[in-house]
Amino acid sequence: MADGGVMRDAGGGKPGTAHGGLARNPGQPLDLDRVRSLRVNRSAVERRAATIPTRRTVKKEWQAAWLLKAITLMDLTTLSGDDTAGNVRRLCAKARNPLRDDIVRALGAESLDVKTGAVCVYHQWVSTAVAALEGSGVPVAAVSTGFPAGLSPFEQRLAEIPASVKAGAQEIDIVITRAHVLTGDWQALYDEVKAFRAACGDAHIKAILATGELATLSNVARASWVAMQAGADFIKTSTGKEGTNATLPVSLVMVRQIREYEAATGFKVGYKPAGGIRTAKQALDYLLLMKEELGDRWLQPDLFRFGASALLTDIERQLEHFVTGRYAAAHRQPMP
């Protein structure tokens, strides 16, 4: 199914250096002058963000194609205290086959082999997920470093990373110490993320900024820049456990820092909004944001992910409506 460029294969970068052949961000020396000079005009950001849902309308087969793309960009996630091996295996089965076969056939999408971008779990379930996803090409991401608060002793947080990598995690979602941002201790934040990056080895690191707890958009911009200079492969909005998680204004600030970082260094860094993205309409808004601010290259799973669980169900409902003309109840969709 065509979609004006959204379903194209990833391209560019150095072969074999990252998921999708993209040259990996090696990090840069910390530039404190640049970090401290960053200022964000909240009113201007909010005005721009408010236009994103209204600037483009995606309908019919184009919308279906964009929603298929959204599925391939999901980190299908379970981070609950009552997770079990059975729940994780079911989630992995969903990641391998996120849509019912009848919907895939009706869309003519059999050749696309649609799968989610990754499965994200706690360390305890990494080996279970790796076994369940064997041969699928879907990587396992592990939350780490004292997720979600990030307040356990540093040595303990650091040790979690190689343990998850050894268990088979190819991506590590780390949480920063929010106090470093709130007190302006940018050197401490840089050193922390740099140590986490080193512990990841070949596994990719997604730096969770917990933006809902950073007080200002200027702090969000500064924390984004420091994390990228420390070598983050992705910057991520939230753990999903904060009172405020991903929003379009915060996302606009973060993706513009990504754009500036590429302009300054030549390296592309990925973006992951997480928490509170539950509807297909919201997913389309974020895809439009990425397309307008960073371009089509950031509509590939090596540079963009949704942190999501409930989102997939609504996308399935929208796709079923597209092929049948009827909205199904959410409980009709196979649940992860």
φ, ψ for residue 191 (rounded to 5)?
A: -60, -40
What residues are paired with 171 via a beta bridge? 141, 204
C-alpha 143/C-alpha 139 separation (Å) is 13
Angle at 240 between CA 278 and CA 262, to 5 degrees: 90
Q: Please, are residues 146 and 181 in contact by the beta-carbon 8 Å criterion?
A: no
Active site residues: 173, 236, 272
What pLDDT, in 10s, does the model give residues 163-218?
A: 999 999 999 999 999 999 999 999 999 999 999 999 999 999 999 999 999 999 99
C-alpha 227/C-alpha 120 separation (Å) is 21
Task: State how far the alpha carbon of 308 is from the alpha carbons of 194, 273, 274, in Å.
Answer: 27, 9, 6
φ, ψ for residue 206 (rounded to 5)?
A: -110, 120
For 41, left (φ over 0), alpha (ψ -120 to 50), or beta? beta
Q: Closest by alpha carbon to 176, among 162, 196, 198, 159?
A: 196
For 116, left (φ over 0), alpha (ψ -120 to 50), or beta? beta
| Confidence at 19, pLDDT banded by 50, 70, 90 | low
What's the start-to-end Cα distance of the chain, in Å?
A: 26
Q: Please, are residues 336 and 309 in contact by the beta-carbon 8 Å criterion?
A: yes
Q: Closest by alpha carbon to 114, among 106, 104, 122, 124?
A: 104
What pLDDT, in 10s, does the model give residues 215-247?
A: 999 999 999 999 999 999 999 999 999 999 999
C-alpha 221/C-alpha 38 separation (Å) is 7
C-alpha 3/C-alpha 94 separation (Å) is 24
How crowded is residue 81: how many other Cβ atoms within 10 Å of its Cβ? 5
| Confidence at 330, pLDDT banded by 50, 70, 90 | confident
What pLDDT, in 10s, does the model give residues 76-99?
A: 999 999 999 999 999 999 999 999
Q: What domains does the chain contain, in order, with CATH numbers?
A: 24-332 (3.20.20.70)
C-alpha 227/C-alpha 195 separation (Å) is 11
- In angstroms, how far apart are the furthest CA atoms of the chain? 57
What pLDDT, in 10s, does the model give residues 272-299?
A: 999 999 999 999 999 999 999 999 999 9
Q: Closest by alpha carbon to 45, among 290, 210, 221, 207?
A: 221
**Residue 15's pLDDT is what?**
30
pLDDT at 49 over 60: yes
- DSSP for 176-206, please give it: --HHHHHTT-HHHHHHHHHHHHHHHTTSEEE
